[in-house]
Chains A and B, each alone.
Chain A
Amino acid sequence: MTSAGTTSDLVRRAARIGEDVAAPAADDVDRKARFPVEAFEALRADGLLAALVPQEFGGPGASVGAVAEAVEALARHCASTAMVFAMHQLQVACLVRHGRSALLRDYQRLLASQQPLLASATTEIGVGGDIRTSICAVESAEGRFRLEKKAPVISYGENADGVLATARRSPESPPNDQVLVLCIAPGLSLEVISGWDTLGFRGTCSPGFVLKAEGDDGCVFDDPFADIATRTMLPVSHILWSSVWLGLASAAVDRARRFVRSEARKTPGVTSPAAVRLAELMTIFQQMEEQVRGLARRYEEVCDDPEALSTMGFAIAMNNLKVSASTLVVDIVGRAMIICGIAGYREDSPYSLGRLLRDAHGAAVMVNNDRILANNAQMLLVHKE
């Protein structure tokens, strides 16, 4: 296990793995829609899957802000790798901040020593994408639970060592009275029920599954899922996903910058239209960068204050981050395409933007922006500030 690291150390290690391991495999991962195995072997070997585990359980106790920067560094090289890494860290964040049973505390020690990869099963077939509603229910008897859930999507389910799943608290509970359950071997089985052949983020390998799990009642989180969702899952997911998109946008900007520079070398002293377009692109990129970093800081300022995390103002701001960053990333990659021209449009050029453009379009549809805006619209009816 690597020792506690500073933010810059964590980011440097993620950037090195991104450059040396994820980047060379990125096109193959994308083409074959395969899991980025080599990147995750390297991330595990370097202790990065346990980055958020507190020092008391043997982890380095990194902050969400530090992990966000590591996610961004990976995303410059392979957005699928970065997205899987981000989703895993989100599960770890839920465990670290809400896992209080003896079993869930022990699991954090195991996370630090063995670094299992954790996936998420929050959506369910039949609820129309609303993660705050469940059909399936935890059945508990004599200290053991059973759960069966039909999930339309479990990202990297086949490569995960454990899954955090939502379910109704009991078979008698209403659809919104949910709990979060850690589902792990030997009581976990996943049966694939659909494929994953998508425009982008192909390496996240996110087909549907029937999840069957049983285990000790200690696997069920004490905090209601409503609180976990509001205080941790919503803000941390939006920060980490936006960091993926920021890294992706930064890769596009980098290609545009290199293209403009190589053109400028051919005609010294002349400011080309592409160079002006690049200057314009940087204003938008800076807007995105400051927004992602600013909201990550805002979360860190209040992350230990459940009251502040539970206000509508905070939820609206975190939703705005998701909608804004997911829109800006498409805009930025599109502008980079205009700058690079045919060199960006080609699949066989060093300035190729095809994979980045396809990945960028995933941002608005993973938890659809329309659903998020509808939630904000509802909250804004009573929100006053």
Chain B
Amino acid sequence: MRDTQGVDREIRAILDEHGRLPVAASTLKEDADLYQAGLTSHASVSVMLALEDAFDIEFPERMLKKSTFESVMAIHNALLELIAEVA
């Protein structure tokens, strides 16, 4: 079971690897707007795939929208919801 900080770290690592942001994810506040930070809709799909793989979950259709991935916190909340469903 992952702790909250671990989840946060993993999200940021995935953003660094797949988000193609002009800045390091560690510099972003957890509620910073990722799209304003440079996340494109194309890159957000790569981030989704990596998150699904890393956390062994699938984002359902209702979560496949811009707001789910708009900040580290929003991604975190979505993951917690999905992990709780699995558990």
Contacts and interface: CB of A to CB of B under 8 A. Distances in A.
Interface of A: 132-133, 169, 173-177, 224, 226-227, 230, 307, 310-313, 375, 378-379, 381-385
Interface stretch (B2-10, B32-40, B76-84): B32-40
22 contacts: A173-B36, A174-B36, A174-B38, A176-B35, A176-B38, A177-B37, A224-B36, A226-B66, A310-B66, A311-B62, A375-B42, A378-B45, A379-B45, A381-B45, A382-B45, A382-B48, A382-B49, A383-B61, A384-B58, A384-B60, A384-B61, A384-B64
Given A177-B37, A312-B65, 12 more contacts: A173-B36, A174-B22, A174-B36, A176-B35, A177-B38, A307-B65, A313-B64, A379-B45, A381-B45, A382-B45, A383-B64, A384-B58
Contacts of A176: 35, 38-41
B52 A382 contact: yes
B55 interface: no
A132 to B, nearest CB: 7
A303 to B, nearest CB: 16
Interface in B42-87: 42, 45, 48-49, 52, 58-62, 64-67
Question: Chain B interface mostly helix, strand, loop or mixed?
Answer: loop
A166 B34 CA distance: 19
A295 B51 CA distance: 32
Contact of A311 (B36, B37, B40, B64): B64
Nearest to B60: A384
Contacts of A379: 45
A221 to B, nearest CB: 15
Nearest to B22: A174
A85 B79 CA distance: 45
Contact of A177 (B35, B58, B62): B35
Which of B36, B37, B64 gathers the greatest number of chain A CB atoms within 10 Å?
Answer: B64
B76 to A, nearest CB: 18
Contacts of B62: 311
A21 to B, nearest CB: 41
A378 B42 contact: yes
Contacts of A132: 40-41
Nearest to A380: B45
A379 B61 CA distance: 11
Given A230-B66, A312-B64, A383-B61, A169 B48 contact: no
Contacts of A173: 36
Contact of B64 (A174, A230, A382): A382
Nearest to B40: A176
Given A132-B40, A176-B40, A378-B42, A224 B64 contact: no
A332 B37 CA distance: 46
A383 B36 CA distance: 24
A13 to B, nearest CB: 38
Nearest 3 CB-CB pairings of A with B: A174-B38, A310-B65, A312-B64
Contacts of A313: 61, 64
A283 B22 CA distance: 51
Contacts of B48: 382
A226 B58 contact: no
Contacts of A224: 35-36
B30 to A, nearest CB: 19
Contact of B36 (A133, A169, A382): A169
